[in-house]
Chain A
Amino acid sequence: MKSSIYQSSKNVFLDTVNVEDYIQLDRVSTIYQSLKDSVRKPLKMILLFGKPGTGKSMFLTKLYHDLSSIQKVYIYRTPILDESEFYKVLAQDLFGIKYKGELNFTQFMRVVEEYETEETPLVLLDEAQLYSNSLMEKIRLLSDTRKVKFVITLHKTEKEDLIAKAHFQTRIWETIELENASSMELKIYIQKKLMKANCFDSANMFQNKSVNLIHKLTNGNYRDTNKLLYTLFDIYSYYDEQNNYTAINRNHISNKIIEMSAIHTGLVNA
Protein backbone atom coordinates (compact mmCIF):
# COMPACT_ATOMS: atom_id res chain seq x y z
CA MET A 1 0.00 0.00 0.00
CA LYS A 2 1.38 3.36 -0.91
CA SER A 3 1.73 5.76 1.94
CA SER A 4 0.22 8.97 0.64
CA ILE A 5 0.35 12.45 2.07
CA TYR A 6 -3.23 11.87 3.21
CA GLN A 7 -2.22 8.82 5.21
CA SER A 8 0.39 10.76 7.12
CA SER A 9 -1.97 13.71 7.55
CA LYS A 10 -4.51 11.33 8.98
CA ASN A 11 -2.11 10.06 11.62
CA VAL A 12 -1.48 13.61 12.75
CA PHE A 13 -4.99 13.66 14.16
CA LEU A 14 -4.87 10.48 16.21
CA ASP A 15 -6.31 11.40 19.58
CA THR A 16 -3.23 11.03 21.73
CA VAL A 17 -1.50 13.17 24.31
CA ASN A 18 2.25 13.38 23.70
CA VAL A 19 4.50 16.22 24.74
CA GLU A 20 6.12 16.27 21.31
CA ASP A 21 2.77 17.11 19.78
CA TYR A 22 2.21 20.15 21.97
CA ILE A 23 1.32 23.20 19.94
CA GLN A 24 1.98 26.76 21.05
CA LEU A 25 -1.20 28.74 20.69
CA ASP A 26 -1.24 32.35 21.82
CA ARG A 27 -3.99 32.00 24.34
CA VAL A 28 -2.74 28.64 25.50
CA SER A 29 0.78 29.89 26.05
CA THR A 30 -0.39 32.87 28.11
CA ILE A 31 -2.41 30.50 30.24
CA TYR A 32 0.55 28.18 30.38
CA GLN A 33 2.80 30.98 31.54
CA SER A 34 0.38 31.96 34.28
CA LEU A 35 0.14 28.33 35.31
CA LYS A 36 3.90 28.11 35.59
CA ASP A 37 3.89 31.29 37.64
CA SER A 38 1.19 29.92 39.90
CA VAL A 39 3.23 26.83 40.52
CA ARG A 40 5.97 29.03 41.91
CA LYS A 41 3.61 31.02 44.10
CA PRO A 42 2.91 29.89 47.66
CA LEU A 43 -0.56 28.81 46.50
CA LYS A 44 -1.27 25.30 47.60
CA MET A 45 -3.53 24.12 44.82
CA ILE A 46 -4.19 24.92 41.24
CA LEU A 47 -7.29 23.85 39.42
CA LEU A 48 -7.35 23.37 35.67
CA PHE A 49 -10.91 23.54 34.54
CA GLY A 50 -12.58 22.99 31.16
CA LYS A 51 -14.85 20.94 28.98
CA PRO A 52 -13.64 17.56 27.75
CA GLY A 53 -11.33 17.95 24.78
CA THR A 54 -10.11 21.47 25.56
CA GLY A 55 -6.55 20.25 26.11
CA LYS A 56 -6.31 19.83 29.88
CA SER A 57 -4.40 16.56 29.77
CA MET A 58 -2.14 17.97 27.10
CA PHE A 59 -1.47 20.99 29.29
CA LEU A 60 -0.69 18.90 32.33
CA THR A 61 1.62 16.67 30.34
CA LYS A 62 3.46 19.68 29.00
CA LEU A 63 3.79 21.11 32.47
CA TYR A 64 5.12 17.85 33.77
CA HIS A 65 7.62 17.63 30.97
CA ASP A 66 8.88 21.17 31.42
CA LEU A 67 9.16 21.04 35.19
CA SER A 68 10.56 17.57 35.63
CA SER A 69 14.10 18.74 34.87
CA ILE A 70 14.02 21.49 37.49
CA GLN A 71 11.91 20.20 40.36
CA LYS A 72 10.23 17.25 42.01
CA VAL A 73 7.06 16.64 40.04
CA TYR A 74 4.78 13.62 39.73
CA ILE A 75 1.92 13.04 37.31
CA TYR A 76 -1.05 10.69 37.72
CA ARG A 77 -2.93 10.47 34.45
CA THR A 78 -5.61 8.10 35.68
CA PRO A 79 -7.03 8.57 39.13
CA ILE A 80 -6.16 6.20 41.93
CA LEU A 81 -9.63 5.68 43.26
CA ASP A 82 -8.90 3.59 46.32
CA GLU A 83 -8.01 5.93 49.17
CA SER A 84 -5.47 3.71 50.85
CA GLU A 85 -3.87 2.95 47.50
CA PHE A 86 -3.72 6.68 46.76
CA TYR A 87 -1.79 7.42 49.98
CA LYS A 88 0.49 4.44 49.46
CA VAL A 89 1.40 5.49 45.94
CA LEU A 90 2.11 9.05 47.08
CA ALA A 91 4.17 7.87 50.07
CA GLN A 92 6.21 5.67 47.79
CA ASP A 93 6.69 8.21 44.96
CA LEU A 94 7.11 11.38 46.99
CA PHE A 95 8.89 10.16 50.10
CA GLY A 96 10.25 6.80 49.06
CA ILE A 97 8.41 5.00 51.84
CA LYS A 98 6.89 1.62 51.08
CA TYR A 99 3.85 0.35 52.94
CA LYS A 100 2.58 -3.20 52.86
CA GLY A 101 -0.78 -3.03 54.61
CA GLU A 102 -3.49 -0.39 54.59
CA LEU A 103 -2.51 3.24 54.95
CA ASN A 104 -5.20 5.55 56.25
CA PHE A 105 -5.43 9.31 56.07
CA THR A 106 -4.29 10.04 59.62
CA GLN A 107 -1.23 7.83 59.19
CA PHE A 108 -0.38 9.38 55.86
CA MET A 109 -0.89 12.88 57.25
CA ARG A 110 1.68 12.08 59.95
CA VAL A 111 4.13 10.91 57.31
CA VAL A 112 3.63 14.11 55.34
CA GLU A 113 3.98 16.39 58.35
CA GLU A 114 7.13 14.72 59.60
CA TYR A 115 8.83 14.80 56.26
CA GLU A 116 11.50 17.47 55.93
CA THR A 117 12.54 18.78 52.52
CA GLU A 118 13.76 22.01 51.03
CA GLU A 119 11.45 21.81 48.06
CA THR A 120 7.76 21.05 47.95
CA PRO A 121 6.94 18.17 45.63
CA LEU A 122 4.36 18.99 42.97
CA VAL A 123 1.64 16.43 42.27
CA LEU A 124 -0.33 16.60 39.02
CA LEU A 125 -3.69 14.80 39.07
CA ASP A 126 -5.56 14.40 35.80
CA GLU A 127 -9.29 13.60 35.59
CA ALA A 128 -9.90 14.67 39.16
CA GLN A 129 -13.65 14.70 38.67
CA LEU A 130 -13.40 10.94 39.19
CA TYR A 131 -12.12 11.28 42.74
CA SER A 132 -14.74 11.07 45.43
CA ASN A 133 -15.75 14.18 47.32
CA SER A 134 -14.24 12.85 50.50
CA LEU A 135 -10.90 12.11 48.87
CA MET A 136 -10.93 15.58 47.33
CA GLU A 137 -11.46 17.00 50.78
CA LYS A 138 -8.47 15.02 52.07
CA ILE A 139 -6.37 16.27 49.18
CA ARG A 140 -7.29 19.78 50.25
CA LEU A 141 -6.24 19.04 53.83
CA LEU A 142 -2.98 17.56 52.56
CA SER A 143 -2.16 20.71 50.65
CA ASP A 144 -2.98 22.76 53.75
CA THR A 145 0.16 21.30 55.32
CA ARG A 146 2.12 23.07 52.55
CA LYS A 147 4.29 20.00 52.26
CA VAL A 148 2.76 18.95 48.95
CA LYS A 149 1.38 21.06 46.16
CA PHE A 150 -1.34 19.85 43.80
CA VAL A 151 -2.37 20.77 40.29
CA ILE A 152 -5.56 19.01 39.31
CA THR A 153 -7.70 18.98 36.19
CA LEU A 154 -11.45 18.77 36.23
CA HIS A 155 -14.07 18.34 33.56
CA LYS A 156 -16.56 21.11 33.49
CA THR A 157 -20.08 19.79 33.77
CA GLU A 158 -22.98 20.71 35.98
CA LYS A 159 -22.12 18.13 38.59
CA GLU A 160 -18.53 19.21 38.79
CA ASP A 161 -19.65 22.79 39.01
CA LEU A 162 -21.12 21.82 42.33
CA ILE A 163 -17.93 20.16 43.49
CA ALA A 164 -16.07 23.20 42.30
CA LYS A 165 -18.28 25.44 44.37
CA ALA A 166 -17.85 23.34 47.45
CA HIS A 167 -14.11 22.94 47.28
CA PHE A 168 -12.52 25.54 45.14
CA GLN A 169 -13.91 28.82 46.21
CA THR A 170 -11.46 29.21 49.00
CA ARG A 171 -8.45 31.35 48.36
CA ILE A 172 -5.94 28.55 48.38
CA TRP A 173 -7.18 27.63 44.93
CA GLU A 174 -6.14 29.22 41.74
CA THR A 175 -8.53 28.35 38.98
CA ILE A 176 -7.45 28.33 35.37
CA GLU A 177 -10.07 27.69 32.75
CA LEU A 178 -9.37 26.20 29.35
CA GLU A 179 -11.80 26.88 26.55
CA ASN A 180 -12.55 25.75 23.05
CA ALA A 181 -10.55 27.34 20.26
CA SER A 182 -11.77 30.29 18.25
CA SER A 183 -11.92 29.88 14.49
CA MET A 184 -8.55 31.61 14.11
CA GLU A 185 -6.95 29.48 16.80
CA LEU A 186 -8.35 26.37 15.24
CA LYS A 187 -6.77 27.26 11.94
CA ILE A 188 -3.40 27.76 13.59
CA TYR A 189 -3.84 24.52 15.51
CA ILE A 190 -4.63 22.50 12.39
CA GLN A 191 -1.91 24.03 10.27
CA LYS A 192 0.78 23.86 12.92
CA LYS A 193 -0.09 20.27 13.65
CA LEU A 194 0.18 19.28 10.00
CA MET A 195 3.34 21.25 9.42
CA LYS A 196 4.99 19.64 12.42
CA ALA A 197 4.53 16.33 10.58
CA ASN A 198 5.85 17.84 7.35
CA CYS A 199 2.43 17.72 5.71
CA PHE A 200 2.79 21.18 4.20
CA ASP A 201 0.50 20.54 1.26
CA SER A 202 -2.34 19.43 3.49
CA ALA A 203 -1.75 22.37 5.79
CA ASN A 204 -2.12 24.74 2.88
CA MET A 205 -5.46 23.25 1.97
CA PHE A 206 -7.05 24.65 5.16
CA GLN A 207 -8.26 28.08 4.22
CA ASN A 208 -10.56 30.24 6.27
CA LYS A 209 -13.72 28.92 4.65
CA SER A 210 -12.95 25.30 5.46
CA VAL A 211 -11.78 26.14 8.96
CA ASN A 212 -14.95 28.13 9.63
CA LEU A 213 -17.08 25.18 8.64
CA ILE A 214 -15.00 22.88 10.83
CA HIS A 215 -15.30 25.34 13.69
CA LYS A 216 -19.04 25.46 13.23
CA LEU A 217 -19.23 21.68 13.43
CA THR A 218 -16.83 21.14 16.32
CA ASN A 219 -17.32 24.37 18.27
CA GLY A 220 -13.56 24.61 18.31
CA ASN A 221 -13.19 21.56 20.53
CA TYR A 222 -9.76 20.05 19.97
CA ARG A 223 -10.82 16.47 20.45
CA ASP A 224 -13.81 16.74 18.11
CA THR A 225 -11.61 18.48 15.57
CA ASN A 226 -9.09 15.64 15.79
CA LYS A 227 -11.80 13.07 15.22
CA LEU A 228 -13.27 15.00 12.32
CA LEU A 229 -9.96 15.51 10.57
CA TYR A 230 -8.86 11.93 11.15
CA THR A 231 -11.96 10.77 9.27
CA LEU A 232 -11.52 13.50 6.70
CA PHE A 233 -8.07 12.32 5.73
CA ASP A 234 -9.29 8.76 5.82
CA ILE A 235 -11.80 9.70 3.14
CA TYR A 236 -9.15 11.58 1.18
CA SER A 237 -6.90 8.51 1.27
CA TYR A 238 -9.75 6.41 -0.02
CA TYR A 239 -10.44 8.73 -2.97
CA ASP A 240 -6.72 8.95 -3.59
CA GLU A 241 -6.37 5.17 -3.75
CA GLN A 242 -9.32 4.99 -6.12
CA ASN A 243 -7.62 7.62 -8.22
CA ASN A 244 -10.83 9.57 -7.94
CA TYR A 245 -9.40 13.00 -8.63
CA THR A 246 -12.74 14.64 -9.26
CA ALA A 247 -13.50 14.28 -5.57
CA ILE A 248 -10.21 15.83 -4.44
CA ASN A 249 -9.17 19.36 -5.11
CA ARG A 250 -5.60 19.90 -4.01
CA ASN A 251 -6.12 23.61 -3.46
CA HIS A 252 -8.60 23.48 -0.67
CA ILE A 253 -10.45 21.05 1.53
CA SER A 254 -13.80 20.00 0.13
CA ASN A 255 -16.82 21.08 2.16
CA LYS A 256 -18.55 17.92 1.11
CA ILE A 257 -15.84 15.76 2.64
CA ILE A 258 -15.87 17.86 5.81
CA GLU A 259 -19.59 17.25 6.10
CA MET A 260 -19.22 13.57 5.31
CA SER A 261 -16.68 13.30 8.12
CA ALA A 262 -19.01 15.14 10.46
CA ILE A 263 -21.75 12.65 9.63
CA HIS A 264 -19.41 9.74 10.20
CA THR A 265 -18.16 11.04 13.53
CA GLY A 266 -21.69 11.86 14.66
CA LEU A 267 -21.15 15.63 14.87
CA VAL A 268 -24.25 16.08 12.73
CA ASN A 269 -27.28 13.84 12.60
CA ALA A 270 -28.00 12.62 9.13
Chain B
Amino acid sequence: MLNVNELESKWLRYKIKSYIPHAIIAVSTIIITLSVVTIYNLKPTVKVDVHADKNLQVSPTKTLPLVEQNTTIKEKSQQAIIANSNLAIIEKNKNPLQNSTPLAQSNEQKKDKIIMSPSLDFMVNMRTNIPAKYEIVTPAKDIQNIVIEEPIQENVLDLSEKAIDLESSQEDVSYESKKGSISINRQNTHDDIKYVIERFKKNNNPALSLFIAKKYYELGDYHKAYNYSLVTNEINHDIEASWLIFAKSLVKLNEKEMAIKTLTQYIDHSKSNRAQILLDEINAGKFK
Protein backbone atom coordinates (compact mmCIF):
# COMPACT_ATOMS: atom_id res chain seq x y z
CA MET B 1 0.00 0.00 0.00
CA LEU B 2 1.22 3.44 -0.88
CA ASN B 3 2.15 5.60 2.07
CA VAL B 4 1.61 9.04 0.61
CA ASN B 5 2.42 10.94 3.79
CA GLU B 6 5.79 9.30 4.12
CA LEU B 7 6.40 9.91 0.45
CA GLU B 8 5.59 13.59 0.91
CA SER B 9 8.22 13.99 3.59
CA LYS B 10 10.75 12.04 1.51
CA TRP B 11 10.00 14.39 -1.34
CA LEU B 12 10.55 17.42 0.88
CA ARG B 13 13.92 16.11 1.96
CA TYR B 14 14.77 15.38 -1.66
CA LYS B 15 13.86 18.92 -2.67
CA ILE B 16 15.94 20.47 0.08
CA LYS B 17 18.87 18.27 -0.82
CA SER B 18 18.64 19.15 -4.47
CA TYR B 19 18.69 22.86 -3.64
CA ILE B 20 21.85 22.67 -1.55
CA PRO B 21 24.23 22.43 -4.53
CA HIS B 22 22.53 25.41 -6.16
CA ALA B 23 22.84 27.38 -2.97
CA ILE B 24 26.51 26.48 -2.69
CA ILE B 25 27.17 27.49 -6.27
CA ALA B 26 25.28 30.74 -5.82
CA VAL B 27 27.11 31.62 -2.62
CA SER B 28 30.53 30.76 -4.00
CA THR B 29 29.82 32.74 -7.16
CA ILE B 30 28.96 35.76 -5.02
CA ILE B 31 32.10 35.36 -2.96
CA ILE B 32 34.26 34.95 -6.05
CA THR B 33 32.71 37.94 -7.78
CA LEU B 34 33.22 39.96 -4.63
CA SER B 35 36.87 39.03 -4.39
CA VAL B 36 37.40 39.66 -8.10
CA VAL B 37 35.92 43.09 -7.70
CA THR B 38 38.04 43.83 -4.64
CA ILE B 39 41.24 42.73 -6.26
CA TYR B 40 40.38 44.79 -9.25
CA ASN B 41 39.88 47.81 -7.05
CA LEU B 42 43.08 47.14 -5.15
CA LYS B 43 45.18 47.72 -8.24
CA PRO B 44 45.02 51.43 -8.93
CA THR B 45 47.44 51.12 -11.86
CA VAL B 46 45.11 48.84 -13.69
CA LYS B 47 42.37 51.28 -13.10
CA VAL B 48 44.35 54.12 -14.53
CA ASP B 49 45.01 52.09 -17.63
CA VAL B 50 41.47 51.17 -18.15
CA HIS B 51 39.68 54.29 -17.23
CA ALA B 52 40.09 57.80 -18.44
CA ASP B 53 42.36 60.19 -16.58
CA LYS B 54 39.45 62.17 -15.33
CA ASN B 55 38.42 59.34 -13.12
CA LEU B 56 41.77 59.31 -11.49
CA GLN B 57 41.26 62.75 -10.14
CA VAL B 58 37.82 62.15 -8.83
CA SER B 59 37.97 58.66 -7.55
CA PRO B 60 40.76 58.36 -4.95
CA THR B 61 39.06 60.06 -2.06
CA LYS B 62 35.74 58.53 -2.78
CA THR B 63 36.77 54.96 -3.48
CA LEU B 64 39.32 54.51 -0.76
CA PRO B 65 36.93 53.85 2.10
CA LEU B 66 34.99 51.51 -0.12
CA VAL B 67 38.08 49.56 -0.93
CA GLU B 68 38.92 49.22 2.69
CA GLN B 69 35.55 47.84 3.47
CA ASN B 70 35.73 45.41 0.64
CA THR B 71 39.09 44.11 1.67
CA THR B 72 37.96 43.27 5.13
CA ILE B 73 34.97 41.47 3.80
CA LYS B 74 37.07 39.65 1.34
CA GLU B 75 39.60 38.68 3.92
CA LYS B 76 36.96 37.33 6.16
CA SER B 77 35.32 35.34 3.46
CA GLN B 78 38.60 33.91 2.32
CA GLN B 79 39.46 32.91 5.81
CA ALA B 80 36.14 31.24 6.00
CA ILE B 81 36.82 29.37 2.83
CA ILE B 82 40.20 28.26 4.02
CA ALA B 83 38.81 27.16 7.30
CA ASN B 84 36.11 25.23 5.55
CA SER B 85 38.37 23.46 3.20
CA ASN B 86 40.77 22.56 5.95
CA LEU B 87 37.94 21.10 7.89
CA ALA B 88 36.83 19.09 4.92
CA ILE B 89 40.30 17.75 4.38
CA ILE B 90 40.70 16.79 7.96
CA GLU B 91 37.35 15.10 8.09
CA LYS B 92 37.99 13.33 4.90
CA ASN B 93 41.28 12.06 6.12
CA LYS B 94 40.28 10.82 9.50
CA ASN B 95 40.19 7.31 8.21
CA PRO B 96 43.44 7.36 6.39
CA LEU B 97 45.43 4.41 5.34
CA GLN B 98 43.55 2.02 7.51
CA ASN B 99 41.65 1.81 4.36
CA SER B 100 44.19 -0.24 2.65
CA THR B 101 43.61 -3.21 4.87
CA PRO B 102 39.84 -3.53 4.51
CA LEU B 103 40.17 -2.83 0.82
CA ALA B 104 42.69 -5.53 0.41
CA GLN B 105 40.58 -7.96 2.35
CA SER B 106 37.56 -7.27 0.28
CA ASN B 107 39.70 -7.77 -2.76
CA GLU B 108 40.55 -11.22 -1.67
CA GLN B 109 36.99 -12.13 -0.98
CA LYS B 110 35.90 -10.92 -4.34
CA LYS B 111 38.82 -12.31 -6.20
CA ASP B 112 36.85 -13.50 -9.14
CA LYS B 113 35.13 -10.17 -9.43
CA ILE B 114 37.94 -7.74 -9.03
CA ILE B 115 40.58 -8.92 -11.30
CA MET B 116 43.44 -6.78 -10.19
CA SER B 117 44.42 -4.52 -7.43
CA PRO B 118 47.65 -2.94 -6.46
CA SER B 119 49.85 -5.14 -4.36
CA LEU B 120 49.52 -4.87 -0.64
CA ASP B 121 53.20 -4.26 -0.13
CA PHE B 122 52.96 -1.20 -2.13
CA MET B 123 50.06 0.05 -0.09
CA VAL B 124 52.11 -0.51 3.02
CA ASN B 125 54.90 1.51 1.50
CA MET B 126 52.51 4.22 0.65
CA ARG B 127 51.31 4.20 4.21
CA THR B 128 54.73 4.96 5.52
CA ASN B 129 55.61 7.38 2.77
CA ILE B 130 52.57 9.50 2.61
CA PRO B 131 51.56 11.90 5.28
CA ALA B 132 48.13 11.11 6.61
CA LYS B 133 46.53 14.08 5.04
CA TYR B 134 46.69 12.57 1.57
CA GLU B 135 44.46 9.72 2.46
CA ILE B 136 40.90 9.30 1.52
CA VAL B 137 38.28 7.97 3.73
CA THR B 138 35.76 5.92 2.02
CA PRO B 139 34.97 3.18 4.44
CA ALA B 140 35.32 -0.12 2.70
CA LYS B 141 31.94 -1.14 3.99
CA ASP B 142 30.27 1.54 1.95
CA ILE B 143 32.07 0.47 -1.11
CA GLN B 144 30.93 -3.07 -0.75
CA ASN B 145 27.37 -2.03 -0.24
CA ILE B 146 27.43 0.02 -3.33
CA VAL B 147 28.94 -2.73 -5.35
CA ILE B 148 26.16 -5.04 -4.38
CA GLU B 149 23.18 -2.76 -4.35
CA GLU B 150 23.53 -0.35 -7.18
CA PRO B 151 23.44 -1.13 -10.84
CA ILE B 152 26.70 0.63 -11.41
CA GLN B 153 26.48 1.06 -15.13
CA GLU B 154 23.35 3.11 -15.15
CA ASN B 155 24.75 5.14 -12.37
CA VAL B 156 27.88 5.91 -14.19
CA LEU B 157 25.97 7.23 -17.11
CA ASP B 158 23.66 9.24 -15.02
CA LEU B 159 26.38 10.76 -12.95
CA SER B 160 28.75 11.48 -15.71
CA GLU B 161 26.06 13.75 -17.01
CA LYS B 162 26.15 15.54 -13.73
CA ALA B 163 29.87 15.61 -13.83
CA ILE B 164 29.65 17.33 -17.15
CA ASP B 165 27.32 19.87 -15.64
CA LEU B 166 29.90 20.50 -13.07
CA GLU B 167 32.60 20.98 -15.60
CA SER B 168 30.54 23.46 -17.47
CA SER B 169 29.73 25.38 -14.33
CA GLN B 170 33.40 25.54 -13.70
CA GLU B 171 33.93 27.04 -17.09
CA ASP B 172 31.54 29.80 -16.24
CA VAL B 173 33.43 30.66 -13.16
CA SER B 174 36.82 30.60 -14.77
CA TYR B 175 35.50 32.90 -17.43
CA GLU B 176 34.65 35.38 -14.75
CA SER B 177 37.94 34.98 -13.07
CA LYS B 178 39.84 35.85 -16.22
CA LYS B 179 39.36 39.39 -15.09
CA GLY B 180 40.85 38.53 -11.74
CA SER B 181 44.08 36.84 -10.82
CA ILE B 182 45.38 33.32 -11.21
CA SER B 183 45.14 32.51 -7.55
CA ILE B 184 41.42 32.87 -7.71
CA ASN B 185 41.25 30.41 -10.51
CA ARG B 186 43.00 27.88 -8.32
CA GLN B 187 40.86 28.41 -5.35
CA ASN B 188 38.01 27.79 -7.67
CA THR B 189 39.13 24.41 -8.89
CA HIS B 190 39.76 23.39 -5.32
CA ASP B 191 36.29 24.51 -4.36
CA ASP B 192 34.86 22.51 -7.21
CA ILE B 193 36.74 19.43 -6.18
CA LYS B 194 35.62 19.95 -2.63
CA TYR B 195 32.05 20.09 -3.75
CA VAL B 196 32.40 16.96 -5.86
CA ILE B 197 34.08 15.19 -2.93
CA GLU B 198 31.11 16.05 -0.76
CA ARG B 199 28.82 14.52 -3.32
CA PHE B 200 31.02 11.50 -3.71
CA LYS B 201 30.95 10.94 0.04
CA LYS B 202 27.19 10.83 -0.14
CA ASN B 203 26.66 8.47 -3.03
CA ASN B 204 29.99 6.78 -3.71
CA ASN B 205 29.53 7.16 -7.39
CA PRO B 206 32.58 6.10 -9.42
CA ALA B 207 31.95 8.81 -12.02
CA LEU B 208 32.51 11.39 -9.30
CA SER B 209 35.64 9.82 -7.85
CA LEU B 210 37.03 9.53 -11.37
CA PHE B 211 36.32 13.19 -11.92
CA ILE B 212 38.15 14.02 -8.68
CA ALA B 213 41.08 11.82 -9.61
CA LYS B 214 41.36 13.56 -12.99
CA LYS B 215 41.21 16.98 -11.43
CA TYR B 216 43.88 16.17 -8.86
CA TYR B 217 46.02 14.72 -11.59
CA GLU B 218 45.69 17.91 -13.59
CA LEU B 219 46.63 19.89 -10.50
CA GLY B 220 49.69 17.74 -10.05
CA ASP B 221 48.52 16.22 -6.79
CA TYR B 222 49.42 12.67 -7.75
CA HIS B 223 48.91 11.17 -4.30
CA LYS B 224 45.31 12.20 -4.31
CA ALA B 225 44.89 11.27 -7.95
CA TYR B 226 46.27 7.84 -7.05
CA ASN B 227 43.94 7.47 -4.13
CA TYR B 228 40.80 8.50 -5.95
CA SER B 229 41.49 6.35 -8.96
CA LEU B 230 42.11 3.45 -6.60
CA VAL B 231 38.76 4.05 -4.97
CA THR B 232 37.13 4.31 -8.39
CA ASN B 233 38.61 1.00 -9.44
CA GLU B 234 37.33 -0.55 -6.25
CA ILE B 235 33.79 0.53 -6.98
CA ASN B 236 33.89 -0.35 -10.65
CA HIS B 237 36.95 -2.08 -11.94
CA ASP B 238 36.06 -1.67 -15.59
CA ILE B 239 36.54 2.05 -16.02
CA GLU B 240 39.42 2.44 -18.42
CA ALA B 241 40.04 6.12 -17.73
CA SER B 242 40.45 5.36 -14.05
CA TRP B 243 43.11 2.72 -14.68
CA LEU B 244 44.96 5.14 -16.91
CA ILE B 245 45.00 7.86 -14.25
CA PHE B 246 45.97 5.27 -11.68
CA ALA B 247 48.97 4.11 -13.69
CA LYS B 248 50.02 7.62 -14.65
CA SER B 249 49.89 8.75 -11.03
CA LEU B 250 52.03 5.78 -10.06
CA VAL B 251 54.64 6.79 -12.60
CA LYS B 252 54.57 10.33 -11.29
CA LEU B 253 55.01 8.97 -7.78
CA ASN B 254 58.14 7.14 -8.93
CA GLU B 255 56.41 3.78 -8.82
CA LYS B 256 57.06 2.92 -12.44
CA GLU B 257 57.39 -0.82 -11.79
CA MET B 258 54.07 -0.89 -10.03
CA ALA B 259 52.45 1.10 -12.83
CA ILE B 260 53.73 -1.34 -15.42
CA LYS B 261 52.57 -4.32 -13.41
CA THR B 262 49.10 -2.91 -12.88
CA LEU B 263 48.68 -1.86 -16.49
CA THR B 264 49.82 -5.24 -17.75
CA GLN B 265 47.25 -6.96 -15.60
CA TYR B 266 44.57 -4.55 -16.67
CA ILE B 267 45.39 -5.05 -20.35
CA ASP B 268 45.30 -8.83 -19.92
CA HIS B 269 41.77 -8.55 -18.69
CA SER B 270 40.42 -5.69 -20.77
CA LYS B 271 42.47 -5.70 -23.98
CA SER B 272 42.33 -1.94 -23.73
CA ASN B 273 44.13 -0.18 -26.56
CA ARG B 274 44.64 3.04 -24.71
CA ALA B 275 46.14 1.20 -21.78
CA GLN B 276 48.47 -0.60 -24.19
CA ILE B 277 49.58 2.69 -25.71
CA LEU B 278 50.25 4.12 -22.27
CA LEU B 279 52.15 1.01 -21.25
CA ASP B 280 54.33 1.27 -24.34
CA GLU B 281 55.01 4.90 -23.61
CA ILE B 282 55.97 4.16 -20.02
CA ASN B 283 58.22 1.31 -21.09
CA ALA B 284 59.87 3.46 -23.70
CA GLY B 285 60.38 6.16 -21.10
CA LYS B 286 58.27 8.57 -23.14
CA PHE B 287 55.85 9.03 -20.31
CA LYS B 288 57.61 10.22 -17.21
Interface on A for B, CB 8 Å cutoff? 158, 231, 234-235, 238-239, 256, 259-260, 263-264, 268-270
Contact = CB atoms under 8 A, between A and B. Distances in A.
A260 B8 CA distance: 7
Contacts of B8: 260
B276 to A, nearest CB: 20
DSSP majority for the A interface?
helix
A270 B10 contact: yes
| Closest 9 pairs between A and B when the two form their complex, measured CB to CB | A270-B14, A260-B11, A238-B4, A270-B10, A260-B7, A234-B2, A263-B10, A264-B7, A235-B4
Contacts of A235: 2, 4, 7
What is the interface of chain B mostly: helix, strand, loop, or mixed?
Answer: helix
B94 interface: no
Contacts of B2: 231, 234-235, 238, 264
A231 B11 CA distance: 14
6 contacts: A259-B14, A260-B4, A260-B8, A260-B10, A263-B7, A264-B2
B144 interface: no
B141 interface: no
B2 to A, nearest CB: 5
Contacts of B178: none
A270 B4 contact: no
B119 to A, nearest CB: 29
B153 to A, nearest CB: 8
B13 interface: yes
Contacts of B13: 270
Nearest to A234: B2
Contacts of B203: 269
Nearest to A268: B14
B64 to A, nearest CB: 51
Interface residues of B, number: 12
A270 B11 CA distance: 7
Contacts of A231: 2
Contacts of B4: 235, 238-239, 260
A263 B153 CA distance: 20
Interface string B3-21: 0100110110111010000
Contacts of A234: 2
Contacts of B17: 270
Interface string B258-276: 0000000000000000000
B238 to A, nearest CB: 9
Nearest to B157: A219
Given A260-B11, A268-B14, A270-B10, 9 more contacts: A231-B2, A235-B2, A238-B4, A256-B11, A259-B11, A260-B4, A260-B8, A263-B11, A269-B203
B55 to A, nearest CB: 49
A115 to B, nearest CB: 44
A263 B3 CA distance: 12
Contacts of A268: 14
Nearest to B154: A219
A107 to B, nearest CB: 38
B282 to A, nearest CB: 28
Interface in B73-125: none
B133 to A, nearest CB: 31
A270 B7 CA distance: 10
A120 to B, nearest CB: 39
